[in-house]
Amino acid sequence: MIKAVVSSLLIISISFSANAQLGGLIKKAKDKTTEPKQEKTTPPPSNTQTTPAQQPAQQSGATQPAAKTIPPPEERKELWPEGHINYVKPDAPTPLHSKYVGKLVFSNQVLTPETTKETLFKNSFSIDEPIYGRVYIATAVKNYVLYSDMGAGSNGWDNNDGECSLQYTIDNDTKVHVLRNYRRKGDTKSWITWQYFFAARGEDAAYNQDDFIGKMNALPDGEHIIHFKLWAGGIAGRSSISPIATADLTINKQPGKKMILGRTWNSYKATMSNPALEKQMVDVMKEKASRDGWKETFSKAKIIDKDWYTVRNEYTGIVTARTINAVVYAKWPDGHCTVQEFNFIQQHNGSGWSKVLEFNGVGDQTAIDCD
């Protein structure tokens, strides 16, 4: 009788343990990308992980799991779970990828999966040259465990959102700057390589970071080393135990030269030409800037609507006003320039349009290269 009871308890214990281990291997993730620009990845396109642990399956909408107890930093593993079972199956690496895994490489031209060649790579640039980058990592970002205190803490979390952060320091300064934060989700969650834009040209200039370019142009003349570190996580104080990719970029700041944004006033196209109305728009913005204490000086406008939009009373249908959108060029006291979208309005007095143009709303502001 006693043996029968012991055997039953043993069977129940084994069954419970097996189910717990099975539950620890099940994980589903449904998400989508926030990457600004997709690219084909077959394969290629803001710290560590522990040995496999028994972790319950995550249901859709479940709360963040509690922190796991993990070994000391020197005993931890980078990949979770330990390289042979991954939450996300990463893209297969190419021979070039395998050579540069853990590195961020740079070039004067776009580095797409189809056009990337080792002969295009370089690490030293004049400040006025175009600069593009491509990163190569060991596995999908989601497969790294994140630790508190930027990788130094003892509590680990799964990187459920596939977050990664490209950070940099300048020369010997220890202050850390963030170039860009990403979430590798949806179609990008299996990526092990993608592009970065530092001083891109053409359409890709939309991804240039104003803050980074401003910092480069503020450097004194001479050579400067920009130290890059890409972290899994890196957001809200949680990151991989060590960077998942690194690189040093040499920038030669020459007298009279600067890094450009690649966006100009000529990039904006007018859809209506009305010099008198454009002058009115500039005058309205100058008056508003003076009244509200704005620092920029407005000088020219381009109308971006094909025609006026008629405003009617919601209940009677009577015409009350008309509005139109334009972009207005401005220069700031520190020398940088911007383009900003504004909405303007003219009231209707029952028999015609008012001759007074008024400010009616503000839209996005974009830094551009000064004329």
Could you write out the DSSP letters of every residue in 268-334?
S--SB--HHHHHHHHHHHHHHHHHHT---EEEEEEE-SSSPEEEE-TTT--EEEEEEEEEEEEE-TT
Residue 316 in domain = yes
Does residue 114 sit in the same domain as residue 160?
yes
Secondary structure of 8-43 in the HEC alphabet? HHHHHHHHHHHHHHHHHHCCCCCCCCCCCCCCCCCC
Distance CA 95, CA 306 (A): 52
Does residue 238 sit in the same domain as residue 277?
no
Does residue 206 sit in the same domain as residue 279?
no
The secondary structure of residue 353, as a DSSP letter, is B
Does residue 112 sit in the same domain as residue 73?
yes
How far from 272 is each of 139, 301, 362, CA to CA, in Å? 51, 11, 19
- Domain extent at residue 340: 265-368
pLDDT of residue 27: 33
List, in sequence order, every residue forming a beta bridge with 225; answer none if it has no partner: 250
Find the largest Cα–Cα distance for the chain: 103
Domain boundary among 197, 230, 253: 253
Is residue 11 predicted with pLDDT exceeding 80?
Answer: no
Residue 119 in domain = yes
Q: What is the CA 184 to chain-centroid distance, rounded?
A: 10
Least confident of 16-30, 149-163, 189-203, 242-256: 16-30
Is residue 3 predicted with pLDDT exceeding 60?
Answer: no
Does residue 245 sit in the same domain as residue 177?
yes
Residue 57 in domain = no
- How many Cβ atoms are within 10 Å of 288's Cβ, its own excluded? 15
- Burial tier of 304 (Cβ tally within 10 Å: 0-12, 13-18, 19+): middle
Domain boundary among 210, 233, 253: 253
Tally the domains of the chain. 2
- Burial tier of 171 (Cβ tally within 10 Å: 0-12, 13-18, 19+): exposed
The proportion of the chain whose per-residue pLDDT surpasses 70, expressed as a percent, equals 77
Residue 258 in domain = no
Is residue 19 predicted with pLDDT exceeding 80?
Answer: no
For the residues 20-47, what does the mean pLDDT come to? 36
SS3 of residue 97 by DSSP? helix
Residue 3 in domain = no
For the residues 300-327, what does the mean pLDDT come to? 96
Top mean pLDDT of 16-25, 37-46, 346-355 is at 346-355
pLDDT of residue 75: 52
Does residue 181 sit in the same domain as residue 330?
no
Top mean pLDDT of 17-26, 130-139, 154-163 is at 130-139
Does residue 136 sit in the same domain as residue 279?
no
Domain boundary among 195, 223, 253: 253
Main-chain dihedrals φ then ψ at residue 317, nearest 5 degrees: 80, 5
Helix, strand, coil proportions of the chain in percent (round to 5)? 20, 35, 45
Does residue 214 sit in the same domain as residue 94?
yes
Residue 312 in domain = yes
**Quick check: 328 and 281 in contact, CB under 8 A?**
yes
Does residue 329 sit in the same domain as residue 359?
yes
Residue 341 tokens read as 């979208």
Residue 21 in domain = no
Is residue 184 predicted with pLDDT exceeding 50?
Answer: yes
pLDDT of residue 145: 85
Report the chain's mean pLDDT, rounded to a whole number. 81
- Higher-confidence residue of 11 and 200: namely 200
Does residue 271 sit in the same domain as residue 138?
no
Cα-Cα-Cα-Cα dihedral sign, residues 37, 110, 174, 245: positive
Measured at the CA of 40, the angle between CA 115 and CA 229, to 5 degrees, comes to 75
Does residue 193 sit in the same domain as residue 302?
no
Top mean pLDDT of 92-96, 113-117, 238-242, 277-281 is at 277-281
Res. 77 pLDDT band, cuts 50 70 90? low
Residue 226 in domain = yes
Least confident of 14-28, 110-124, 283-297, 357-371: 14-28
Does residue 215 sit in the same domain as residue 107?
yes
pLDDT of residue 69: 52
